[in-house]
Structure 1
Amino acid sequence: MNNISNQNNKIFWLAPIVVLVIGILPLPIGYYTLSRLVVSVSALYFAYNFYKKNDNKNIWIFGFIAILYNPIIPVYLYEKFIWIIVNIITIFVFYKNKNI
């Protein structure tokens, strides 16, 4: 059972990193909608796990990421360069917390 849990955890930190790295390329808008979905769902997964551990700081961090990347009410930063910087920071946050 623990092996399955570790595989799920790996998916939830690796998938957003992969889609954010690919998102640096110029791609159709549909890809960015998909990447928003992947990142926001993964961020909610992390926020929930930090909630179970009573880690308030990381709940707020991943809650913010979930809101920033949500595909339902998207946040527009209007500049690709700004999104690249935000994506790099988000990649770092997911990688840093991969062992929750």
Structure 2
Amino acid sequence: MRLFTFFTAALLFIATIQLPIGFYTALRILVFICSILLVRSSYQDSLTNWVIIFLVIAVLFNPIIPVYLYKKSIWIPIDIIAGILFIVRGISWQRNIK
């Protein structure tokens, strides 16, 4: 699961450059799935803050009822912050830090 978390973070950082729309659609699905898995894992470990953080990310990247912000300049900081959060969660998971 840690590798999946780091992979998702890397793709979020790559998303800050101009790419075809298909990449962003696939990214939305991947981030949503990874976020839901992290919500479940964090909930089982009683990590309430992580549950809330990844629920918000799941809502933002939700592929079923997408959130459209229309401007790339708005999505870039969101992608960077989400990527950082995935990395921090992956590192804390690796070290068993709660």
Say which of 29, 47, 58 aligns to 2:50: 58
For each residue in 1:52-90, what CA deviation from the matched residue of structure 2 results, as whole angstroms up to 9, or x when unmatched?
011111111101101110111110111111100001110
Moved over 2 A (4+): none
Percent of matched pairs sharing the same residue: 35
- Which residue of 2 is the match for residue 17 of structure 1? 9
SS at match of 1:26: coil
Distance (whole Å) between structure 1 residues aligned to residue 57 and residue 70 of structure 2: 17
- Which residue of 2 is the match for residue 36 of structure 1? 28
Aligned length: 92
Q: CA RMSD in A?
A: 1.1
Larger RCO, structure (CA 8 Å, separation 6 or more): 2
Distance (whole Å) between structure 2 residues aligned to residue 93 and residue 19 of structure 1: 13
SS at match of 2:12: helix
> TM (normalized to structure 1)?
0.85
- Which residue of 1 is the match for residue 85 of structure 2? 93
